Chain A
C-alpha cells in the first residue's frame, strides 16, 4: 500500500488541497529544533489561506495524527541525519519519507513520527503527498542551546522550498510587511537570548556520543 486516500473533501474540483506544514523536533537541543524554528519563521513572515496550517509539532507522536488525517499534502521540516556535511539541505518525497525516517533515525521524535505516518496509512487517511525538508545538524549535544549558524542559515532556503511546493498546489502565501514575533518564552529570539552561561548550566551530555572514544 502506497500513500492512501485523502480526506473527504479532496475530490472537489478546483478546490486547493489542504496542506499541513509541520515542524518537528526538540527545540531544547540545539539543531534538533530546526524543524520547529523553520515553521515558526514561516508563520512570522507569511499569511496563509485557510487551506494551509502551519504547526509546531514538537516531539509529539500520535497527538499529531488528527492533523495529518485532515490534510491532502504534508510538508515536514526536520533535522535529519543523512551523513552529509552539516548544514546541508536534503529533500525527500512521498514513499521515500517514511522509509527514510525508518532507516536512519536520529532522534526519538522520529520513531514517533514514522509511527504516526504508518498509523495514518493503516486507517486510510494519510496525506497523498509527502515532502520532507531535512537539514543535517551541526550540533545536538547542547542542552538548552539554539540553532548553530550553519543550520540557522538553512531556514531561508528551506522556507523557499516549502513556498515553491505550495505554489505547485496553486497556493500563494502572502509575505507580511513586517515579521510578527510572539512573546512566547520558547520563541527563538527569547529562548536563545535568555540562555544562562555555560558556567551556570552544564551544556553537555552522554560521553559515549560526545567523544566516541574506546574504553
Chain B
C-alpha cells in the first residue's frame, strides 16, 4: 500500500483490469485498475497512448496562421483551440481587439460550450446511464406520461411519437447493425433506469442530433464556413454591413436574426430537454455518488468570456477563475498563467525527456522531446503491453501541476470554484438543483456531479449567448461596426522577440496556449489542454492525476464489464486527440477488457 501526497491509498496487489481503448472519447486512451477481493478499485493508471506532436508542427510557422493548425488538432474543440491561439498571439504582440470582436468570439465560444455539452451528454455519456436496448421494452403511453411529468413544456411527448422512435430503434437493432450501441454491457445491473426513462432519453438522443445541425450554423455565419471556421488575429474575419443584403460573409440583419433564432433554440432545448433529463436520470442514480476524485479538494479554472474586450481580470469574466487546494473551499487562490512558479509540467512518468526530470517546466520554457521506454515491471512486449509499470514512464500525457498540486479542470471544477467564490448565477443554479434533487452540496463531488455541472453550465452559457448577442446588436446600433484591428498585422511592426499566452475555458476545462515568437516566426508553442490536467499520470512526488483519483474506491458490479470505469472517465469528457498520437497497431477499435 502506498499513500499519495494528495490523499489516496494505492494498492496494486489485486486483480488488474485493463481497458484499451476507452471508447466514446475523442482520441486514444487506456486505463488499468487493480481490484480488491470485493471488486473495489484500489489502484488506477490512466494512459494517453498517442502523441500528436502539435508543438513541433507549429515551430517555424507564421504565428498569424497558428490558429488554422490548432483547429486541425482534433474534430471536437476546433473553435476553442483557434480562439486560444489567436489570444496567445495577440497577447504576445500587444494587439487589442474591438468590442464587437469580443462579443462575437464570446457568442462562438458559448455556442461551442452549449453544443459540446449537449453532444457529450446525449452522444458520448448517456449510454453510461441509459440502456437503449431496455428502451425496446418500454410502454410508449407510460413514456409519454413520464415525459409530460418531467418537462410539461416540451411539445414532443405523444405516445405515438415514442412508439415511432421505438419502432425505428427496433428496426435498427434487429438489422444486426448495433453499430452505435455495440460496445455496451446491456445486461449489467449498473444500469438502473426503467424502460420508459430509457426510451425517453434515447428519443432525446435523436432530438439532440437534429438540434446540433442548427446550432453549428453560428460558425458558418461568423466564421465563413463550417467545419473549420475562419479566425483572425486582431479580431474576427467577418465584416459588419447592416445595410447589405445577401452579400457573402458580411454580417447583416438577416444573419443576426438567424443567430438570434439559434440562441433561442439552445436555450429552449437546454431548459425543456437537457436539464429535465439530467434530473430524471440522475434521480435513479442518487445512491451512486462515486467518482469524486480531486473535485472536492483540488480544482482549477482560468476563467473565460470577458465582459469587455481585452480584459482578462477574473472579476470581469463570466466563467469563474481560481484554484482551490487541500479541500479548503473557503479560499480561492488567484491563478497567474505567466508566473513560472505556478503552472509547471513534469515528465518522470511521461514518455518525454527533460535534461533534469526532477523539476517541472513552465510552458514558455516547455520542452517536447519524445522518449518511449517501458518500466522493468511492464508485462508483455513493447507492441503488446499486457500491464504497464506505473512506477516508470507510462503515458504520452505530461503531468501539469499548479504549485505542485494535481488539479481537476472542467465544468465541475468551474462550478466548484464559482460556488466557493460566491458567483451568484452559479450558486443559484447549484442550490436550485440540489434542492430539486434533495441532495447535499457534497453530492457535487462525484461522477454525477460532473455530469450535472455540465448541464447547468450549458444553461448558463445559453443565457450568456443572449447577453452578448444583445450587446453586439446594441453596439452596432450605436454606430460601431469595427470587427478587427489590423494595425499590427504586418510582421515588420512586431518586436524581434515576444512571448504571450492565450487562455480559455474549453468545454473540457482550462486551456492554455503559450507562444514565443522570434523574427516573425513561432519559436516555441506549447498547449496545455484540459485532458493533460485531468488525464495526467503521476508526478515526481507521486501525486495521481484527476482521472486516476476519480476511479479510486469505486466498486464494480462485474470486473469484466467496466461500466463504472467508463462512466467516470466519460464524465470528464476526455479528449485525448490533442493531448497526445495514434492507433492500436492492428487497427482494432473494439474495446479489449482483460482481467488478470
Contacts and interface: CB of A to CB of B under 8 A. Distances in A.
Contact of A81 (B52, B172, B226, B587): B587
B57 interface: yes
Interface string B156-200: 000000000000110110010101100000000000000000000
A194 B370 CA distance: 23
Which of B65, B381, B583, B588 is the most central at the interface, judged by chain A CB atoms within 10 Å of its CB?
B583
B56 A144 contact: yes
B38 interface: no
A114 B78 CA distance: 20
Given A59-B72, A62-B123, A122-B180, A106 B587 contact: yes
B27 interface: yes
Interface string B584-596: 0101110000000
A169 interface: no
B interface bracket (residues with beta carbon within 8 Å of A) = 35 or more
B587 A121 contact: no
Contact of B74 (A27, A59, A98): A59
A84 interface: no
B59 A118 contact: no
A24 B59 CA distance: 25
Interface string A138-167: 001101100000000000000000000000
A185 to B, nearest CB: 4
A50 B49 CA distance: 43
Interface string A1-16: 1000000000000000
Contacts of A62: 119, 123, 209, 212
B62 A201 contact: no
B177 A118 contact: yes
Contacts of B50: 206
B378 A114 contact: no
Interface stretch (A39-47, A64-72, A127-135, A173-181): A64-72
A144 B28 CA distance: 20
A118 B24 CA distance: 14
A86 interface: no
B174 to A, nearest CB: 8
A205 B75 contact: no
Interface string B415-435: 000000000000000000000
Interface of B is mostly: loop
A186 B76 contact: no
A202 B179 CA distance: 38
Nearest to B374: A215
A107 B228 contact: no
Given A63-B75, A202-B370, A28 B212 contact: no
A213 B585 CA distance: 12
B60 A64 contact: no
B381 A215 contact: yes
A196 B60 contact: yes
A57 interface: yes
A105 interface: yes
A65 B53 contact: no
A204 B577 contact: no
A90 interface: no
A208 B383 contact: yes
A88 interface: no
B27 A26 contact: no
A123 B378 contact: no
Contact of A186 (B27, B52, B69, B581): B69
A206 B383 CA distance: 11
Interface string B43-68: 00000011111101101111001001
B227 to A, nearest CB: 4
A115 B76 CA distance: 14
B246 to A, nearest CB: 16
27 contacts: A1-B177, A27-B72, A28-B54, A59-B72, A59-B74, A59-B75, A61-B26, A62-B119, A65-B212, A65-B213, A66-B213, A69-B213, A105-B587, A107-B583, A118-B177, A121-B179, A122-B179, A143-B57, A144-B57, A185-B61, A197-B60, A201-B56, A201-B59, A201-B60, A207-B372, A208-B372, A208-B383
Q: Which 3 A-B pairs have the closest CB atoms?
A: A196-B60, A143-B53, A185-B65
Given A206-B370, A207-B370, 7 more contacts: A56-B227, A65-B209, A66-B213, A104-B587, A108-B26, A118-B180, A201-B57
Interface of A: 1, 26-28, 56-66, 69, 81, 98, 102, 104-109, 111-112, 114-115, 118-119, 121-124, 140-141, 143-144, 184-186, 194-197, 200-209, 212-215
